[in-house]
Structure 1
Amino acid sequence: MLQVGLTGGIGAGKSTVARRLAELGATVVDSDRIAREVVEPGTDGLREIVAAFGDDVLAEDGSLNRPALAAKVFGNEENRARLNSIVHPRVRDRAVELTGKAPADGIVVQDIPLLVENGMAPAFHLVVVVDADVELRVHRLTTSRGMDEKDVRARIAAQASEEQRREAADVWLDNSGAEEDIRAAVDELWHNRLLPFERHVREGTYPERGGPKIVDYDPEWPRQARRLIARLKLAAGDKALRVDHVGSTAVPGLAAKDVIDLQMTVASLDDADALAETLTGAGFPVRPEFTRDTPKATDPDPEHWRKRMHVSADPGRWANLHIRAAGSPGRRYALLFPAWLRADDEARAEYEAVKRETASRFADIPTYADAKEPWFAQADARAEAWAEREGWTPDPAA
């Protein structure tokens, strides 16, 4: 089962996206609808709200008078937190119940307006954000819903900023155009990313990897890495001592393959093995051909590259997860090399030239990697000299 978080600011058109996903076959869990259900007349949720805020939050028919409640909550952090403590656990429990009824091969889309504000992004395999220009959103809400413009702008200002949403978004859907445009974008997302992603998670497989194509540095790489790291930390819990962005995409300005490399530090590889099923379910299946337990006979240090290897099941974002034990030389090296390249402009330019030249000669990644070894052999001593000169150490988990 693939878990997708769907969110967006008020008036962005999230409901249009949710409807189309449901039409395509997704199980859509609407948090707004659930939030209304859990405070309907006769529910414990409504009784608790009345006890907390008074009888004047009830309408004449005994239902919740939402404007009256909003007047007590909006702008009052204490009251807002109190209301959330009543409603959110009930919404969460009901969402879990509905998700549990979805088919094992299903795609569950949780429509959550405050997903970003409540820090829920790491709980999903993928987060989709629907956005539109602020002025367009104001126009939609004042014309189609008859809302007061001042109220609309206040609500928009109280929600997450565009930058906060971009930090959480694996997929950014711009809904500033015609409805057929956003529906076409959703269709493409469904067929090209969500369906294959779900299949890979369910089967414990991963997308085919292309050749060693080198692209210019993408400033989005660190943001993408942060999202993956948050998911992995949540999935692994205490067994992950830390998760770091490593490899070439962790070096600003360095051209690289469009692959996010991450390193998880664990106390021992027994912990790594215990996490295999959990990480697969989180969207990072094992890649056994790159997992090393018995080192190559040619390795000068038998322990140097001992690790477990997982890769992203997401066809829209290739990523490698290297899991190494604290204190292992390979773990230290994976942290040292990008740190050195970030600090040494000459070495960074030299390595980029090697990468581009080597990628132009070899069509497959293993051969490409082997062809770079002579450069690494002479670069190791330079990186170590820099570390000694600068007093560099990995981190407390070393």
Structure 2
Amino acid sequence: MVIANSVVPVEVVPYNPEWKAEFSRIKARMLEIAGDLILAVEHVGSTSIVGLSAKPIIDLDLVMESYAVLPQIIERFKQYSYEYLGNQGIEGREVLNPTVKDGFMHYHLYVCPQDGKGYLEHIAFRDYLRSHPSAVEAYERVKLSLAQQFRLDREAYTNGKTAFVRSILDQAMN
């Protein structure tokens, strides 16, 4: 018997104030696991922008001093049933993935050096949007349009946002 791969549709939902509370819960857990190995836990991505519609997935950056501590972080998280997935093609952003349900809403966990490109871009993008409501409105329009157009194609949805994200980063990092 062949079981077809199920495609998880792209779902962009209205901003939910509970996302901030859920981030705080996940952050507390991350600090319990690796607080002695990291400098900070940052809420990044669309759920960190008040008022912005988003996929209901919390993005977190665990900030480390340098890559020298990454092996310890990976080993620590393995003890808590996380797998290390590498940087998935994005410099300065390492991915850890929980392999068991942990009671939190869906989240993406990144480990980034404090001076890494991935981390610096996450923070610049987040902070720019937090201080530019018109950019939030424009980004929301892009996201909603792409989610409708590419409902069953997450890669196309993500790729469709690239030009907008790059334009914000160009402004935020100059």
TM-score band, normalised by the shorter chain? 0.7 to 0.9
The separation in 2 between residues aligned to 1:310 and 1:275, in whole angstroms, is: 10
Q: Which runs of 4+ in 1 moved over 4 A?
A: none
Aligned pair in 2 of structure 1 residues 210, 340: CA closer, same or farther (>3 Å)?
A: same
The answer to whether the 8 Å contact 2:128/2:168 transfers is: no
1:307 lines up with 2:93 in the alignment: yes
The Cα offsets for residues 35-82 of structure 1, whole Å up to 9 and x where unpaired, read as xxxxxxxxxxxxxxxxxxxxxxxxxxxxxxxxxxxxxxxxxxxxxxxx
* Of 168, 171, 174, the match for 1:382: 171
Hey, what does 2:121 align to over in structure 1? 333
Q: Report the alpha carbon displacement of residue 270 of structure 1 after superposing the two structures with TM.
A: 3.8
Hey, what does 1:372 align to over in structure 2? 161
Hey, what does 1:356 align to over in structure 2? 144
Aligned pair in 2 of structure 1 residues 227, 282: CA closer, same or farther (>3 Å)?
A: farther
The separation in 2 between residues aligned to 1:210 and 1:233, in whole angstroms, is: 30
Aligned pair in 2 of structure 1 residues 326, 365: CA closer, same or farther (>3 Å)?
A: same
* Of 114, 118, 130, the match for 1:342: 130
The separation in 2 between residues aligned to 1:367 and 1:324, in whole angstroms, is: 25
Q: For 1:272, give the aligned amino acid.
A: L
Listed as ranges, the matches of 1:142-181 within 5 Å are none
Listed as ranges, the matches of 1:174-213 within 5 Å are 210-213=8-11
Hey, what does 1:273 align to over in structure 2? 71
The Cα offsets for residues 258-299 of structure 1, whole Å up to 9 and x where unpaired, read as 00000001122342232223224435x2352xx327x5xxxx
Hey, what does 1:292 align to over in structure 2? 87
The separation in 2 between residues aligned to 1:267 and 1:384, in whole angstroms, is: 21
Q: Report the alpha carbon displacement of residue 380 of structure 1 after superposing the two structures with TM.
A: 1.9
Listed as ranges, the matches of 1:10-49 within 5 Å are none
The separation in 1 between residues aligned to 2:172 and 2:35, in whole angstroms, is: 32
* Of 6, 22, 43, the match for 1:245: 43
Q: Report the alpha carbon displacement of residue 306 of structure 1 after superposing the two structures with TM.
A: 2.9
Unaligned runs of 5+ in 1: 1-207, 296-303, 386-398
* RMSD, matched Cα: 2.2
Aligned pair in 2 of structure 1 residues 326, 345: CA closer, same or farther (>3 Å)?
A: same
The Cα offsets for residues 143-197 of structure 1, whole Å up to 9 and x where unpaired, read as xxxxxxxxxxxxxxxxxxxxxxxxxxxxxxxxxxxxxxxxxxxxxxxxxxxxxxx
Hey, what does 1:255 align to over in structure 2? 53
Higher normalized helix content (fraction of residues):
1
Give 3-state SS (helix, strand or coil) of 1:264's partner.
strand
Hey, what does 1:89 align to over in structure 2? none
The separation in 2 between residues aligned to 1:286 and 1:219, in whole angstroms, is: 29
Q: Report the alpha carbon displacement of residue 374 of structure 1 after superposing the two structures with TM.
A: 1.6
The answer to whether the 8 Å contact 1:325/1:331 transfers is: yes
The separation in 2 between residues aligned to 1:239 and 1:373, in whole angstroms, is: 32
Hey, what does 2:24 align to over in structure 1? 226
Q: For 1:340, give the aligned amino acid.
A: Y
Give TM-score scaled by structure 1 length: 0.39
The separation in 2 between residues aligned to 1:251 and 1:316, in whole angstroms, is: 19
The separation in 2 between residues aligned to 1:384 and 1:238, in whole angstroms, is: 30
Give TM-score scaled by structure 2 length: 0.85
The separation in 2 between residues aligned to 1:263 and 1:247, in whole angstroms, is: 10
The answer to whether the 8 Å contact 1:216/1:254 transfers is: yes
The separation in 1 between residues aligned to 2:9 and 2:74, in whole angstroms, is: 26
Unaligned runs of 5+ in 2: 1-5
